[in-house]
Amino acid sequence: MTRPPLFPGFDGLMTLSRREGVDIRPTLLRVLTDLYVQANAHSDEEERQFIELTSRLIDQVDDATRAAVRARLAIYPGTPTVVLQRLGLKPSNPHARMPVAGEIPTHPVATPPMRPPTEAELRMASNLSMQPKDAAEIHDMFFAASASERVLILHNLAETPLRASARIPAARAARGVETLQMAAWVGDIENFTLELGETLILPSRVAAQVVNDPGGEPLACAARALDMPAPVFQQVLLFLNPEFASVTYVYRLSRLYDRLSERSALIMLAAWRGSIMAMTRAKYRPALYDDERQRARSATAQTRPAVQPGLGSVVRTGSQGSGR
């Protein structure tokens, strides 16, 4: 029995990262590194996959991402030697002598501190539209991931240059939150799904997938996109679907909701909307100008039987065939 890959669907994401106009290779490298350092030990197959995928990304990302990954892997004891060398790090050797520190310069050059970008600057820089096929791949990857992988995906979406959906208007969001709260209070999943789809402009199939997901992370994204208050979201978790409402379930999703950024939720909302466009295009493929001609050529010609005069019997019905 083969061991599952370290990060399922990563090859598809590598194809997505090479598309023109969308560069999420820095995010992919961060996600891969976070998943790798979570475990204390790895098998030979997992280490081989990590070396192969990381080697393809280290030289293709920006300096800030490379520095962040270098800092994570420098303190991780199980980092492969090949990856350390590509990052310019030396393998740890407990028997090696401590090198002597260099001379401190007399007049060090003071570098100005780096100011983190504001939310407005992030929104202005995030101007890369998400193609429908890319949105479908992100949608499928998110719903196929485990709980811990979903948290990492949502955390890293905030740093991608993808364009997020526009905020839901405050008046419509407030009405939607009120209606959703009342539907959850009585356990009306059908009306809750209908209202969520109308408020977020989602098709009924995607809205049902968000509401009925047993993990609950898609529902947290939808609630954050509506700017639902945290106490109201906790009531939704408790009363909407009693089958899922355990103490661990409510506590885990409440913590996720407190740390979930609005930008990550709106990017995921854009992926949900774009995935439907990809499905629609695949279903209704435009016909070529000679499709009908090719179909007619391949069809078998049907011969019509010829009836010679005087040999075929004519059957009359109605008043004209009454024996006259």
Q: How confident is the model at residue 298 (pLDDT cuts 50, 70, 90)?
A: low
Contact 82, 55 (CB under 8 A): yes
The mean pLDDT value for 3-9 works out to 54
28 exposure class (CB count in 10 Å sphere: 0-12, 13-18, 19+)? buried
pLDDT digits 0-9 by tens, 94-145 = 455 545 556 666 665 666 566 665 554 454 444 556 777 878 888 888 999 9
Contact 254, 237 (CB under 8 A): yes
d(CA 196, CA 176): 7
More confident of the two residues 64 and 10: 64
Predicted confidence at residue 257, as pLDDT, reads 95
Q: How confident is the model at residue 11 (pLDDT cuts 50, 70, 90)?
A: low
d(CA 144, CA 150): 9
d(CA 253, CA 249): 6
Sign of CA dihedral 33, 113, 101, 86: positive
Sign of CA dihedral 187, 188, 190, 192: negative
More confident of the two residues 290 and 27: 27
pLDDT above 90 (res 224):
yes
162 phi and psi angles, rounded to 5 deg:
-70, 145
Predicted confidence at residue 124, as pLDDT, reads 43
pLDDT above 90 (res 292):
no
d(CA 243, CA 88): 51
Predicted confidence at residue 10, as pLDDT, reads 56
d(CA 85, CA 100): 22
pLDDT digits 0-9 by tens, 244-278 = 878 889 999 999 999 999 999 999 998 898 877 65
d(CA 239, CA 188): 9
pLDDT digits 0-9 by tens, 42-71 = 888 888 888 888 888 888 888 888 888 888
